[in-house]
Amino acid sequence: MRYFEVKERTDIGYVMRLTTIEPTTINHRGTGWLRSYVNPSAQESIVDYLMQNQRPMVSDNLRKILDYYEQEINDTRVYTIYKGAYEKGDHENTPDYYFIEPRSIDAVHEDSVRDHLGNLESLILDQSKLEYARIFCVKGLKENRWFITLEIAEMLFRNHITGFTVEEIETR
Amino acid sequence: MIKESIYQQYKDSVVNPALRIQIEILDEDYHKNKQKHMDSFQKIIEQFLQKTTKENLTHVHLSWLRTNFWLKQELQYTLESFNENWIDDCKPDIEYFDYTWLLPYMLKFYHMLQEETTRKFAFIPKISLERAFYEAFPIFQQYVREVIRECLLQVQDSRLSELNFRVGEYHGISELMYTGQRTKENPRFELIHRAPQEYFAKDVSDMPAESLEYEKIILPKIHFNHCKFDHSIFKEGIFVGSHFEDCSLQNCSFEFSFLHDANFSRANCQGTNFRSIAGNMDLACAEVPSYYGISFREANLSGCDFRLAQLKGVDFTGANLEGAKFFAEQRRYFPFTAKQNSQIHWMREEEIA
């Protein structure tokens, strides 16, 4: 099985970002709904995957695909509200977004290289611990990194999901 | 951010012309070097079947990968073997292999898109260009699909007779190419390959056969050069890949026939009935005349009836369409010239009633 890390693309020019994110209601899990005001300009692309406040955020389209493969993903909905000179009619395709938190798996292989402070320099995943895992985070990583299998990467490319790129991760 | 209508306009004026150019070149290459590619794939499939140790092997799947093209601009394919649980089999035997036949055409197409976009649609963002490219991905890959369809007939392995062979997207939509049972599951396979060997004459030049009445006849991949079939009836026949170049086919009937990849170049088809013919494969692009469509180059199609015909990928270049009947709804699918547009008799439902 091949695994890929999902990353945000930086080579696609101007991308619409959410400016302020405010909590509205909090549910029993403490996650709640959020709202954000957007004012996309004509030059900005609306993409399906963003890193917002250093957390992965996905559009409704992307979330549906991820949901199909893995139901144990915690997500927090962010409603986007139009504010500014542009009317909604011009930007009716702007999606609501979701902060996602895939489940964490302790899958760092012992051959992974660490520096003297214990930070990972090169990550190698342990194949034996990833059986049946398709979308996941890895325990012990400081950064907010998440991974998918080849099957899902193909699905994302087929469905023209934008704003992301993938990098293959070695497994043993 | 661009609207969907602008994207469609971009596709019509930049993407489809570029795709048409590349597919035409690729199509020529396909016809020249088909045997070579068939031999290569045969070797790969035979080696995989020998290697696989899967118990109860019932499904083999060949898929193309977009991810590798994205990462390294390489064309990689996978071969997977499954047991009777098919896609629910969690541990298939899997093998990756590179096959670069289509790579230069796809790269050329991508570069053409980039150049033309900069020249004509500079405001189109990169993500829309990439979307257009990945939408065209299966149109290139269907050539591999067709090579494998024929190559499977050559494969020498006893296990093949008991399994289903599929080609398509990785864990996505795929087409059944070969089935051990050879039942109704894959009618197209049956249609193309069940013909008795004696029909596979390579060339039937100058065969006079006027007023034949052969319904449901199976004559695929035959070259009928300069033949006369005037007033013949070939209803519900199978003529996949057959050549009718320079033939006389006046007032014939091909109703409900399978005609994809048939070549009617320079044929005289005056008054012939092509109603409800199946003239394409599933994924063929309407704007691109290709292997999967029928070639009517420079044919005389005056008074022909094309109502309800599936004609994606058909090539009408230089054809005479004086009084040919089409439904008005079909108008937007084909790149007719202005002259052809004016010649055609566009019919509406009210007119038929």
Average pLDDT over residues A20-49: 68
Q: Which residue would you say has higher pLDDT here, B83 or B132?
A: B132
Q: How far apart are CA A35 and CA A145, in angstroms?
A: 24
pLDDT of residue B211: 65
**Using the beta-carbon criterion (under 8 Å), do A47 and B127 form an inter-chain contact?**
yes
Q: Which residue would you say has higher pLDDT here, B39 or B333?
A: B39
Asked whether B17 and B115 are in contact (CB, 8 A), the reply is: no
pLDDT at A35 over 80: no
**Using the beta-carbon criterion (under 8 Å), do B66 and A16 form an inter-chain contact?**
no
To the nearest whole Å, the CA of B169 is away from the closest chain A CA by 8
ipTM of the complex: 0.84
pLDDT at A21 over 90: no
Q: Binning pLDDT at 50, 70 and 90, where does residue B7 land?
A: confident
pLDDT of residue A135: 92
Q: Alpha carbon B82 to chain centroid distance?
A: 28
Q: What is the mean pLDDT of chain B?
A: 82
Exposure class string for B32-48: b at 16+ Cβ within 10 A, else e: eebeebbeebbebbeeb
Distances (CA, A) of B18 to A156, B24, B60, B96: 25, 10, 34, 30
Sheet harboring A55-59: ordered strands across? Answer: A21-25, A33-38, A74-82, A97-101, A55-59, A49-52
At B41-70, the pLDDT tens digits run: 999 999 998 888 877 888 899 999 999 998
To the nearest whole Å, the CA of A117 is away from the closest chain B CA by 31
**Using the beta-carbon criterion (under 8 Å), do A46 and B135 form an inter-chain contact?**
no
**Using the beta-carbon criterion (under 8 Å), do B171 and A154 form an inter-chain contact?**
yes
Residue B122 at interface with chain A, using a CB cutoff of 8 Å: no
Q: What stretches of chain B adopt beta strand conformation (E)?
A: 59-65, 76-82, 93-98, 164-169, 174-179, 325-327, 345-347
Q: Which of residues 50-89 of A touch B (CB under 8 A)?
A: none
At B199-220, the pLDDT tens digits run: 444 455 555 566 667 777 777 7
Q: Which residues on A lie below 8 Å from B70 (Cβ)? A: 157, 165-166
Nearest residue to B224 via CA among B240, B207, B199, B200: B207
**Using the beta-carbon criterion (under 8 Å), do A12 and B127 form an inter-chain contact?**
yes
Amino acid at A5: E
Asked whether B345 and B327 are in contact (CB, 8 A), the reply is: no
Average pLDDT over residues A84-93: 52
pLDDT of residue A4: 94
Q: Binning pLDDT at 50, 70 and 90, where does residue B253 land?
A: very high
Taking CA atoms, what residue in B is nearest to A168?
Answer: B71
- The bridge status of strand B76-82 relative to strand B93-98 is antiparallel
**Using the beta-carbon criterion (under 8 Å), do B1 and A40 form an inter-chain contact?**
yes
Tokens of B163: 């399994």
Ranking A91-95, A113-117, B132-136, B175-179 by mean pLDDT, the lowest is A91-95
pLDDT at B303 over 50: yes
pLDDT at B283 over 50: yes
Nearest residue to B199 via CA among B235, B231, B227, B239: B239
Nearest residue to A77 via CA among A18, A129, A161: A18
Instruction: Write the residue in A16, A45, A153 that is nearest to B67 by C-beta.
Output: A153
Q: Binning pLDDT at 50, 70 and 90, where does residue B290 land?
A: low
Which are the contacts of B192, defined by CB distance < 8 A and separation ≥ 6? Answer: B149, B220, B238, B240
Average pLDDT over residues B101-127: 91
Average pLDDT over residues A25-37: 61
Q: Which of residues 230-269 of B touch A (CB under 8 A)?
A: none
- Determine phi and psi for B218, rounding to 5 degrees: -115, 105
Give the residues across from B327 on adjacent strands.
Answer: B347
Q: Binning pLDDT at 50, 70 and 90, where does residue A30 land?
A: low
**Using the beta-carbon criterion (under 8 Å), do A45 and B67 form an inter-chain contact?**
no
pLDDT at B299 over 90: yes
Instruction: Write the residue in A4, A42, A150 that is nearest to B1 by C-beta.
Output: A42
